[in-house]
Structure 1
Amino acid sequence: MAEEVHNFDPKYDDYDFPTTSPEARSGHPGHTTPEQDAKVFQLRTMLEQEGYTERLDTLTLLRFLRARKFVVEAAKTMFIESEKWRKEFGTDELVDTFNYVEKPKVFEYYPQYYHKTDNDGRPVYIEKLGKIDLTAMYKITTGERMLSNLVCEYEKLTDPRLPACSRKAGKLLETCCTIMDLKGVGITSVSSVYGYVRQASAISQNYYPERLGKLYLINAPWGFSTAFSAVKSFLDPVTVEKIHILGSGYQSELLAQVPRENLPVEFGGTCNCEGGCELSDAGPWQEPEWTRPPKRAAKSKSEQEKVTPAAPEDAPAAAEDAPATATA
């Protein structure tokens, strides 16, 4: 592995996985210019002045800057809007408390899951859109709980999934490989799911930028490619480059990206996890050699210890207005 060279800030940059991107693209970690490094510093300084102290590490700020073409003011606005949303949605608390007990039943109508890795070592994310039946699903769950589950999975993608994959691959991995199965999707079903899909897409684009590595749309119905071509000109060329629209004969191209043993049998692979691939959550993040406790969990425990320190039974009760002391 190449030597890691970065202008990191020790106050915020505490990584225990590789931090050089395998893609030698401008603005990606390990491939930044002095001007881009200066913009990271500028963005962090501006956010600190606004009172922000979380998620100011270099890798995160670079993602927001890339998403806004390194226009610092635009990246700052995007970051602040993201933090506002996180607070309103309760993201930090949700990820450790949310229990999606209805997942097996919901997956009968809308499977969405991470499963092993592609040839680049990235997590593979799979959605089967053709089975969506919101009427049936809303008898089991609610749209709010579906979005809560989506957010929790994005948080787990950030940590522990991507760090574990980075350790195993020996290189920084910041994106995932997405497979969206369109089999059974018809024009009549589009309107019924549009509201949820629109909300889910907005969360992805606005609050978790630069997480898409490759997108394979398989079993695309006739005319889909033509329709996509009509809107392609409105999309960022970098995004368009990541999208592959495939019909029913998708297996050879998909298997060129995902190892056969990592791909579920129904998509042409050989994987058949006990209990079903959809519910296995198999991947490096489940392997003790590569995974670590999420940093948010360690941080939460540390904060609890600071707030409620253990005291001797015979110690006098502290006055409510006494100043608390804590070590940094």
Structure 2
Amino acid sequence: MQAKLSPSTTGSSAASAHSKHPFKEPKQVEALKNLRVLLGPDNEKFDDGELMRFIVARSYDLPGAKDQLLASLEWRKTNKVDDLAIPGSSNPNGVMYGVRGWHSVPDANIEADQPNVPEHAVRLQKYMGGSCLHKWDKAGRPIYIERMGQHNVKGLAKNVTTAELVDYHIRCTEFVHNTIMPECEERFGTDDKVIDKETVIFDCTGMGFHQLHMDGLNMLRSLTDMDQKAYPERLGKLFIVNSPFVFVKVYSMIKKWLDPGVIEKIHILGKDYKSILLDHIDEENLPEFLGGSCTCNHMPGGCVPSVIMNNIKPVDKTPAQNNNLLAVPTYLRPRSSSSASANSIMDFVLPGKPKDGIYQMFSTMAHGKACEYEVVVADEDIEHQPEVIIKFRIKGVRAACEGLNFTVARFVFGEVADNGTIVVPTKFYSHIECPETSDGILVKFTATEAGLYVLSWKPEHQCGLVQMEYGVTVDGIPGEGSDML
């Protein structure tokens, strides 16, 4: 995780002069000096702490740290992250989850119709087990608590798109880094102690095999990838408590996505976790249900409000037409709610960058089952009517393309998302038209309305395992499949 990259407060060329908390170890000082040389004149824009996070994330590979830093800046610019309206002491913006114990933002729960609280941030509360930014640990780091074991993973994957979840996560992350971290610095920081990380507690109480849902795990992977690339070295410690056997199964998959440095910060605990938490967190700052003495009984929902656990009433949804959908103006990815589900491209997308603008995937495309790809076009982009292009081709088995139907459908937001109208007529492509090795078939349409578009293709006959290559772009922005940065 990472805060907004802020300008340096000094013009000195000495590395240690670029930070309120100078790094003193010779290895650190040398690495900072050399990275600033690699960055050239632009190095003056960055604080030592910002640069050191990227240096550590790349294990002191300085060219790699430079590349990741610049890529994160480009990502922030492209996705307008720095323009997001987040809660703070000088604005009325509503919070995205429960907040307890801070001066800069009064104790609050997420509510509908609050300034700059998107509709999807309210909607997803129905499926989340409960979360709260709850006070601070003994090091002065903010504590984020999530009742992971109570998540309705299937409901989340079905009713919240990955684009919406990513947008929600970005907003929450920016709030912590740009509102709460500065308060931590002011209240608990010293000349020798920088506070730029957070402590996280995941409570797995209630977790079961029903949460092993591929679409939900793919959503989690999207967030994990983004955090490691765009927000490196923002995690202090992660305590996973009340972890049952099923978590071993989940973690065996999640661990493959994580950098070694992140894995070292994860502490998986069973039911004997209370003394360990109290070693790091004062009793009065730890919720009672986790072994502390805090109840936050002055707030609805107590320390960690949860609709699923019925300690707080469901939040009414804001009307969809008032939805400020995304921080990312155009967003593309395989659709998690595809009716093909476990047989969809979500399960078989091969990693890596596209070749000639096309990603490769395997899909068991059964009769009547559609593979879908979603495109979200924001209000601010609709003025220039962005062009959506999908290119696809069969590789290896020409017969697999026979009987393939390709449809582009217009969908609306919210619960009526499947009552759409066709905006591009369905076309039948024969195996002759679907080339094996050439550039493939291009289908284009112009987005004339803001909203969620779903690209859907399905075979008319059982084709078995189909090796297919595809690519989707909106005004030159590629869909998911390449590295995010």
Residues 187, 89 of structure 1: CA spacing in aligned structure 2 closer, same or farther, 3 A cutoff?
Answer: farther
Residues 30, 156 of structure 1: CA spacing in aligned structure 2 closer, same or farther, 3 A cutoff?
Answer: farther
Mapping of 1:88-99 within 5 angstroms? 88-96=78-86, 98-99=116-117
1:177 pairs, out of 199, 221, 224, with 199
How big is the shift at 1:67? 0.9
Q: Give 1:250's aligned residue.
A: 273
How big is the shift at 1:226? 9.1
2:219 pairs, out of 196, 211, 221, with 196
CA distance in 1, matches of 2:204, 2:273: 12
TM-score for the superposition, normalised by structure 1:
0.67
Structure whose CA Rg is larger:
2
- Larger RCO (CA within 8 A; separation ≥ 6): 1
Q: Does 1:74 align with 2:64?
A: yes
CA distance in 1, matches of 2:243, 2:118: 30
Does the Cα contact within 8 Å between 2:140 and 2:189 map onto a contact in 1?
no
CA distance in 1, matches of 2:40, 2:132: 37
1:83 pairs, out of 54, 59, 73, with 73
Residues 203, 73 of structure 1: CA spacing in aligned structure 2 closer, same or farther, 3 A cutoff?
Answer: same
Does the Cα contact within 8 Å between 1:225 and 1:245 map onto a contact in 2?
no
How big is the shift at 1:39? 1.9
Q: Does 1:121 align with 2:150?
A: no
CA distance in 2, matches of 1:73, 1:40: 8
Q: Does 1:136 align with 2:155?
A: yes
Residues 192, 131 of structure 1: CA spacing in aligned structure 2 closer, same or farther, 3 A cutoff?
Answer: farther
TM-score for the superposition, normalised by structure 2:
0.47
Amino acid paired to 1:278 = V
Does the Cα contact within 8 Å between 1:174 and 1:211 map onto a contact in 2?
yes
Q: Give 1:10's aligned residue.
A: 10
Q: Give 2:51's aligned residue.
A: 61
CA distance in 2, matches of 1:43, 1:98: 39
CA distance in 2, matches of 1:219, 1:233: 22
Mapping of 1:145-156 within 5 angstroms? 145-156=164-175
Kindly report the root-mean-square deviation, in angstroms, between the aligned alpha carbons of the 2 structures. Answer: 3.4
Amino acid paired to 1:179 = I
Q: Does 1:40 align with 2:35?
A: yes
- Classify the secondary structure of the residue corresponding to 1:163: helix
Does the Cα contact within 8 Å between 1:39 and 1:70 map onto a contact in 2?
no
Residues 231, 157 of structure 1: CA spacing in aligned structure 2 closer, same or farther, 3 A cutoff?
Answer: closer
Which of the pair is proportionally richer in helix?
1
CA distance in 1, matches of 2:266, 2:64: 25
Q: Give 1:278's aligned residue.
A: 304
How big is the shift at 1:196? 1.1
Does the Cα contact within 8 Å between 1:12 and 1:57 map onto a contact in 2?
no
CA distance in 1, matches of 2:166, 2:147: 16
- Classify the secondary structure of the residue corresponding to 2:187: helix
1:163 pairs, out of 176, 182, 194, with 182
How big is the shift at 1:143? 3.2
Structure 1 unaligned spans of 5+: 1-7, 22-28, 281-328
Post-superposition Cα deviations, 1:166-196, rounded to whole Å, max 9, x if no partner, equal 2211331111111111222223412241011
CA distance in 1, matches of 2:153, 2:50: 34
Q: Give 1:109's aligned residue.
A: 127
- Classify the secondary structure of the residue corresponding to 2:280: coil
Mapping of 1:204-243 within 5 angstroms? 204-222=227-245, 224=247, 238-243=261-266
Post-superposition Cα deviations, 1:181-214, rounded to whole Å, max 9, x if no partner, equal 1222223412241011101111111100011111
CA distance in 2, matches of 1:132, 1:142: 16
CA distance in 2, matches of 1:203, 1:232: 15
CA distance in 2, matches of 1:68, 1:116: 30
- How many residues end up aligned between the 2 structures? 257
CA distance in 1, matches of 2:46, 2:239: 32
Post-superposition Cα deviations, 1:294-316, rounded to whole Å, max 9, x if no partner, equal xxxxxxxxxxxxxxxxxxxxxxx
CA distance in 2, matches of 1:144, 1:151: 11
How big is the shift at 1:219? 1.0
Q: Give 1:20's aligned residue.
A: 21
Structure 2 unaligned spans of 5+: 1-7, 14-18, 87-114, 307-485
Q: Give 1:294's aligned residue.
A: none
